[in-house]
């Protein structure tokens, strides 16, 4: 026998020996088996290797000792994920030369396959499987077959079923539902506004509503507003026509100009009255349009935050302050952010950042009708297949034609298309990998038709029970005793 075996080889060996020994279960064989198992267990426990937490299992004439991982004292409810060792020992007739265990450097007996000794109990020493791992789960994995049709249960083998441990009931993360989500009608979006306060590459141009102060280093009488002005008057307010009123000059156009351009313009104008005016411009308030937009969405004293909740209209647009309707149908959140930022930048300049957030997706429904217990409309809260939709409807009725389930779908242009599916084998447990188990999407209609027997039954019921009998009711009696005597 080979010292190191793979886990699959160990399992196949166990199965073959169990099958062979089940065919020879005589009373004498059973007594010899239990004596051999008891001797093997005593011999193994006598070496001091296993503890009380070890498990000894008998399969035919094969001894399997599984050592679970050590756990801290007092730990309750801990599920062992992987056993530390799986050891297999086969029974041998009494008096046959076997390999007794030899002591290793740590003082623990280990198998030695080079020496030969007579084992009076008829038990070979345990053999070690190659890799410690839990018992494999046998089944059918649909990814193991490419272009070979539907696999049957004959293709059953070890599958990566996984070990149930704490938290694993939620299932794996898997892949994303969709690679990129695109906005659609009835989606609820929340646009969060924020002032960037980043350095601008272009000089700021004064706008209506801004306030400035005009100072003269050589002639203090030109300062406006004056030092004795009321405290609430910070600077000169730029009027709706884009001008400010200055001493000796009157109304001067300043809107749309930079601070440097306004200073040079006033220097030239004041030189008619003062040889060296020494004009200096100090802006006090600016970017009032951005402040107005932020105030329009300011909810810091109410719902909280500076955002604008909105819903995508049936025409595929949303309404935002100072922008009006913006088409968002089919755009990703990143594309929508760039569109909104660019529109605000062209209209109000840099300094405002808007971030769209998807707060609620549009409702998605699937409709299941026909031979099901609870037909109706059901919400698609997660990826849903055809069989899952039938389970949402309470399962199928007796007489449902599961070989010809029809799914209706609308394409991107709202044109109808349909497909016919055969899921009978899967629902009856005969097909482990049904090729017709497809994913559904919004507004799909699943029709579970009636079987031909039910169709004929309906025809008979409508024709003879409700139709002909309703017009001319009559009774028919057959005497089977007289019929048998004819």
Question: What is the tally of helices (H) and strands (E) in the chain?
Answer: 10, 25
Identify the weakest region by mean pLDDT among 162-166, 292-296, 376-380.
Answer: 162-166
CA atoms of 408 and 74, how far apart (whole Å): 58
Q: For the structural domain made of 188-198+290-360, what CATH number should be given? A: 3.30.1950.10
Q: For position 19, what pLDDT does the model report?
A: 53
Where does CATH 3.30.1950.10 sit in the chain?
A: 188-198+290-360, 211-286
Q: What is the mean pLDDT of the chain?
A: 74
Range with top average pLDDT, 52-61, 366-375, 433-442, 460-469: 366-375
Verdict on whether the full-model pTM lies above 0.85:
no
Q: What pLDDT digit, counting tens, does each position of 202-254 carry?
A: 888 888 888 888 888 888 877 777 655 555 556 788 888 999 988 888 899 99
Q: For position 385, what pLDDT does the model report?
A: 94
CA atoms of 431 and 103, how far apart (whole Å): 52
Where does CATH 3.10.560.10 sit in the chain?
A: 365-453
252 close to 243: Cβ distance less than 8 angstroms: yes
Pairing of strands 445-448, 365-370: parallel
Distances (CA, A) of 258 to 40, 194, 261, 270, 291: 98, 25, 5, 18, 19
Res 337 pLDDT > 80: yes
Q: Is 23 left (phi over 0), alpha (psi -120 to 50) or beta?
A: alpha
Q: Does domain 211-286 sit in CATH 3.40.50.460?
A: no
Q: For position 187, what pLDDT does the model report?
A: 95
- What is the mean pLDDT of the segment spanning 98-107? 44
SS3 21: helix
What percent of the chain is modeled with pLDDT above 70? 62
CA atoms of 420 and 177, how far apart (whole Å): 24
Q: What pLDDT digit, counting tens, does each position of 123-136 carry?
A: 455 444 444 555 67
Strand partners, 471: none
Q: For position 3, what pLDDT does the model report?
A: 42
CB atoms within 10 A of CB 226: 11
Residues contacting residue 160 through CB under 8 Å, at least 6 positions apart:
141
Higher pLDDT, 81 or 425: 425
Fold classification of 365-453 is Outer membrane lipoprotein wza fold like (3.10.560)
């Amino acid at each position: 026998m080979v010292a190191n075996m793979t886990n699959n080889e160990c399992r196949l060996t166990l199965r073959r020996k169990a099958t062979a020994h089940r065919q020879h279960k005589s009373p004498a064989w059973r007594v010899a088996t239990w004596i051999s198992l008891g001797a093997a267990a005593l011999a193994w426990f006598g070496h001091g290797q296993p503890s009380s937490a070890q498990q000894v299992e008998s399969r035919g004439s094969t001894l399997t000792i599984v050592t679970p991982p050590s756990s801290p004292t007092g730990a309750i409810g801990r599920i062992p994920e992987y056993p530390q060792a799986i050891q297999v020992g086969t029974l041998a007739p009494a008096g046959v030369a076997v390999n007794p265990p030899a002591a290793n450097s740590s003082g623990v007996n280990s198998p030695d396959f080079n020496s030969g000794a007579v084992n009076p109990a008829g038990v070979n020493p345990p053999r070690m499987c190659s890799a410690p791992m839990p018992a494999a789960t046998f089944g059918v994995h649909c990814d193991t077959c490419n272009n070979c049709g539907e696999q049957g249960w004959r293709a059953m083998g070890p599958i990566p079923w996984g070990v149930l441990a704490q938290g694993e009931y939620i299932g794996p993360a898997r892949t994303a539902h969709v690679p990129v989500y695109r906005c659609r009608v009835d989606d609820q979006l929340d646009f969060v506004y924020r002032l960037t306060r980043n350095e601008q590459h272009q000089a700021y141009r004064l706008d209506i509503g801004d306030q400035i102060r005009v100072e003269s280093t050589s002639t203090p009488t030109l300062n406006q507003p004056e030092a004795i002005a009321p405290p609430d008057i910070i600077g000169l307010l730029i009027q709706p026509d884009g001008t400010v009123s200055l001493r000796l000059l009157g109304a001067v156009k300043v809107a749309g100009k930079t601070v440097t351009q306004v200073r040079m313009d006033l220097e030239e104008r004041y030189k008619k009255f003062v040889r060296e005016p020494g004009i200096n411009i100090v802006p006090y308030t600016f970017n009032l349009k951005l402040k107005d937009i932020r105030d329009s969405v300011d909810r810091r004293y109410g719902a909280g935050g500076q955002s604008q909740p909105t819903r995508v209209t049936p025409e595929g647009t949303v309404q935002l302050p100072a922008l009006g309707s913006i088409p968002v149908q089919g755009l990703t959140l990143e594309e929508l952010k760039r569109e909104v930022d660019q529109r605000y930048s062209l209209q109000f300049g840099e300094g405002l950042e808007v971030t769209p957030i998807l707060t609620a997706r549009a409702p998605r429904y699937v409709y299941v009708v026909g031979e099901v217990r609870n037909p109706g409309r059901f919400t698609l809260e997660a990826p849903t297949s055809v069989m899952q939709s039938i389970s949402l409807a309470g399962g199928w009725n007796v007489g449902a034609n599961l070989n010809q389930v029809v799914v209706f779908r609308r394409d991107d242009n709202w044109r109808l298309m349909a497909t016919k599916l055969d899921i009978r084998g899967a629902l009856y447990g005969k097909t482990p990998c049904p090729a017709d188990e497809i994913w559904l999407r919004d507004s799909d209609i699943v029709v579970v038709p009636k079987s031909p027997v039910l169709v004929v039954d309906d025809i008979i019921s409508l024709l003879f029970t409700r139709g002909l009998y309703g017009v001319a009711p009559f009774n028919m009696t057959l005497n089977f005793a007289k019929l048998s005597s004819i």
